[in-house]
Chains A and B, each alone.
Chain A
Amino acid sequence: MQITLLNGALNENDPTHAVADLILAELDESPASVIYYPLHTIPIATCIGCFECWVKSPGECRISDAGRDIARDMIQSDVVLMLSPIPFGTYSSELKKVLDRAISLILPFFQMVDGEVHHQPRYERYPSLIGIGVLPTPNASLADLFDRLVGRHSINMHAPSHATLVVTLDQSEQDQQNALRSVLSQLEGVK
């Protein structure tokens, strides 16, 4: 099993890193192969909405930087773990910069899904998506918004399955670890 872990911490002091360390320690004990991207340390250009990845160089972003490599690793993985603080219920800008660039992984053409228009898949298989949000303290409405966002995202990215977990900084490390272990243990190939 291949897992890509995207760490959307905003800077080096972001407490999200401590959660990333717990995830990495947990995965280190599993047979899974892990590709880890601490995104704020990696220069990645913002998507400019040119759609060249759909029409000029189909499947590949025109910008030659790590954004391309990460999109490739995402589609070649079985699971993408999206770790992020949850500013106002959404993904952090550091995580979003790679998610925006990953539209190369789907087609411009439309299809109907449950009565709504969505994009068609480009590939035969897609990774499962797991969103792990980090909040300072429990906030049910932000956690709910984050959960719905990952659910919507999984439709557009054709994820075969998805899950979310929100950990809070007022939890003990042991409680965070238990919660992470509970989500990760659901993945075949991690146990």
Chain B
Amino acid sequence: MSEHISRRAVLLVGSAKHPSSTSESLGRALLERLEGGGYRYETIKLVRALRSEEGTQVMIQAVKQADLVVFAFPLYVDTLPTLATKALEQIAASRVEPTTPPQFVAIVNCGFPEVEHMALAIEVCERFAKTTGFEWMGALALGGGQAVNGQPLDELGGMMRHAIEALNLAAEALLQDQAIPQEAVDLMATPFIPPRLYTMMGGWGWRRQAAQMGTKKNLRDRPYKE
């Protein structure tokens, strides 16, 4: 295993959810594994950083100083959410080609059970990395991200065993300066429950939330119907 004693990583969290999100849980779980190999990391929540010019500059500097950028975000409307898109735009606009390209990893999650929904977002990240002076190390995509719901991944255990094993393999590869292996990608993509059951449970979950808010009868309202 390579020595990474003085290496820096930055976790960019593209979810606006507070106080924690599935994106942050997944990113932290990967970086905690890298800490054991000598990485130290900081977490930047884009929802806060991009609120001001000062915060944006802090984010850009952190990326400039990093040996590894972990870009974790939820899929919104088929691609990167606004915050994640804006971060890539800002980083690209300020980018000076570095002597040694920092490594770039994307971690995407979405509410659909299938990972195919995230393929385009991953392509966007890959294009960003390859055209702005990063070394593309690959991506992990998790379907049914609500199941994590901002909880520490390792505490979820059994249901998330595929995701945990995927992160173990990904961290092992990154510590050897190798791209995320296909086995890790496949493990992360493994549905933790059958998609049809997931969609049924999802519907039940929305109705339960609506019942608590007294809006169960209004869930299908059309306020903008002409």
A residues lining the B interface (CB < 8 Å): 10, 46-50, 54-60, 71-72, 75-76, 87-93, 96-97, 99-100, 102-103, 105, 107-110, 112, 116-118, 122-124, 141-142, 145, 148-149, 152-153, 156-157
Of the listed stretches B26-34, B37-45, B124-132, B178-186, name the one at the interface; the rest are far from the partner chain. B124-132
Report the separation of the CA atoms of residues A180 and B206 in the bound assembly, to the nearest whole angstrom: 42
Let me know if B112 and A148 touch, CB within 8 A.
Answer: no
Contact, CB under 8 Å: A145 / B222: no
Please measure, in the bound complex, the distance between the C-alpha atom of A88 and the C-alpha atom of B120, giving whole angstroms: 11
Q: In the complex, are the beta carbons of B222 and A90 less than 8 A apart?
A: no
Residues of B within 8 A of A (CB): 15-18, 21, 47, 74, 76-83, 85-86, 88-89, 92, 112-114, 116-117, 120-121, 123-125, 127-128, 131, 195, 198-199, 202-203, 206, 209-210, 213, 215, 218-226
Which residues from B are CB-within-8-Å of A92?
A: 85, 89
**A144-B26 Cα distance, complex, nearest whole Å:** 30
User: Complex: how many Å from CA A152 to CA B121?
Assistant: 11
Residues of A close to B220: CB separation below 8 A: 58, 107, 122
- A117 cross-chain contacts in B, Cβ below 8 A: 112-114, 195, 198-199
Bound Cα distance A91, B207 (Å):
32
A12 CB, min distance to chain B CBs, angstroms: 15
Partner of B16, one of A47, A122, A152: A47
Which one of B83, B127, B199, B202 contacts A89 once the chains associate, using CB atoms below 8 Å?
Answer: B127
Could you name 25 residue pairs across A and B whose Cβ atoms are closer than 8 Å?
Answer: A46-B16, A46-B83, A48-B18, A49-B15, A49-B16, A49-B74, A55-B206, A55-B213, A55-B219, A56-B213, A58-B218, A87-B88, A88-B88, A89-B123, A91-B79, A96-B76, A96-B79, A103-B76, A107-B219, A108-B203, A108-B219, A109-B203, A109-B206, A122-B222, A123-B224
Residue of chain B at shortest CB distance from A96: B82
- Give how many A-B residue pairs fall within 8 Å (CB-CB): 148
| B195 contact set on A, CB distance < 8 A | 117
Whether the pair A116, B17 counts as a contact (CB closer than 8 A) is no
List of 5 A-B pairs having minimum Cβ-Cβ separation, nearest first: A93-B86, A110-B199, A93-B85, A48-B16, A88-B127
Q: Are A56 and B215 in contact (CB under 8 A)?
A: yes
Instruction: Let me know if A58 and B224 touch, CB within 8 A.
Output: no
Interface centre among A87, A88, A108 (most CB of B within 10 A): A88
Residues of chain A contacted by B21 (CB below 8 angstroms): 49
Residues of chain B within 8 A of A75, CB atoms compared: 224
Complex-state Cα separation, A149 to B218, whole angstroms: 31
Contact between chains at B88 and A71 (CB < 8 Å): no
CA gap between A77 and B44 in the complex, in Å: 39
Q: Are B81 and A47 in contact (CB under 8 A)?
A: yes
Q: Is the CB of A142 within 8 A of B85?
A: no
A96 adjacent to B221 (CB under 8 Å): no
Instruction: Select from chain B the residue with minimum beta-carbon distance to A71.
Output: B224
Task: Report the bound CA distance from A89 to B18 in whole Å.
Answer: 29
A88 contact set on B, CB distance < 8 A: 88, 92, 124-125, 127-128, 131
Nearest CB of B to A121, in Å: 10
With a cutoff of 8 Å between Cβ atoms, the chain B residues found around residue A89 in the complex are 120, 123-124, 127
Q: How far is the CA of A149 from the CA of B75 in the complex (A)?
A: 13
Inter-chain contacts of A91 with B (CB < 8 A): 79, 85
- Roughly how many angstroms separate A103 CA and B82 CA in the complex, as a whole number? 13
How far apart are the CA atoms of A142 and B131 in the complex, in Å? 12
Let me know if B78 and A108 touch, CB within 8 A. Answer: no
